[in-house]
Amino acid sequence: RKEVEQDPGPFNVPEGATVAFNCTYSNSASQSFFWYRQDCRKEPKLLMSVYSSGNEDGRFTAQLNRASQYISLLIRDSKLSDSATYLCVVNIESAGTYKYIFGTGTRLKVLA
Amino acid sequence: SAVISQKPSRDICQRGTSLTIQCQVDSQVTMMFWYRQQPGQSLTLIATANQGSEATYESGFVIDKFPISRPNLTFSTLTVSNMSPEDSSIYLCSVVRLRGSNYGYTFGSGTRLTVV
């Protein structure tokens, strides 16, 4: 089983739609969680951290379920500019060192 | 977040040669990380570069193939040695910063390597 698993997609949605991605992780010692966005031929960029209580940033909502070991990302009112690959990232911290595990990403294409 | 300058942005190299990739960070950071992203794949950690000590390599990566230097807290290099076409990939350096109660990764713009 992969340490971080995501549905690769692609998710093709019309503008204005709401779309949700899930990501599951296998290591219960995982401590921090993030969603990154990667545009084609670009480096990944932090979209948002994921807090235990859930958090919202504009049209984006992230949630964490530790019991079931998954995180989610909800995008409301999709824009064409949201088209990208969304990477789920899990951080495991041990003895002062960090190890970030990346999912393979979920491709989103927002259609006009 | 940190600003990272990575170069070269791309290169085409002959097999058997070596390429050194440089990353310069705009402020001091304890740990720098080197990742590889092969076509259609996610990021795979190659090694963690700590200033003043040997880099820590992940399973499947060895120092002879990917020597790393970390001469100070703002700079690191990764060398891809004795290249083969299988080394064609995007190589990214990154740093992690503590911001409030959160940790965040910032990446360099990547080096797109093609080995022919």
Give A98's Cβ-side CA count (13 Å radius).
25
Q: Indicate the residue of A32, A44, A103 with minimum beta-carbon distance to B107.
A: A44
Q: Is residue B102 over pLDDT 80?
A: no
Q: Indicate the residue of B1, B31, B43 with minimum beta-carbon distance to A98.
A: B31
Q: Is residue B103 over pLDDT 80?
A: no
Q: State how far the Cα of A12 lies from the Cα of A111, in Å rounded to an integer.
A: 7
Q: What is the pLDDT of residue A25?
A: 94
Q: How big is chain A, counted in residues?
A: 112
For range B25-45, the mean pLDDT: 89
Interface mutation vs chain B, best among A38, A39, A43, A87, most B CBs within 10 Å = A43
pLDDT bin (cut points 50, 70, 90) of residue B101 is: very low
Judged by DSSP in three states, B60 sits in: coil
Q: What is the pLDDT of residue A31?
A: 82
pLDDT bin (cut points 50, 70, 90) of residue A39 is: very high
Q: State how far the Cα of A63 lies from the Cα of A43, in Å rounded to an integer.
A: 24
Q: State how far the Cα of A77 lies from the Cα of A87, in Å rounded to an integer.
A: 20
Q: Is residue B34 over pLDDT 80?
A: yes
Does B98 or A52 have the greater pLDDT score?
A52
Q: Which residue of B has its CA nearest to A99?
A: B45
Q: Is residue B60 over pLDDT 60?
A: yes
CB contact A2 to B (< 8 Å): no
**DSSP E strands: which ranges in B51-109?**
56-57, 68-72, 75-80, 89-99, 102-107
pLDDT bin (cut points 50, 70, 90) of residue A93 is: confident
CB contact A88 to B (< 8 Å): no
Residue A100: its chain B contacts at CB < 8 A?
33, 45, 96, 105
pLDDT bin (cut points 50, 70, 90) of residue B106 is: confident
Q: Indicate the residue of B42, B104, B109 with minimum beta-carbon distance to A103.
A: B42
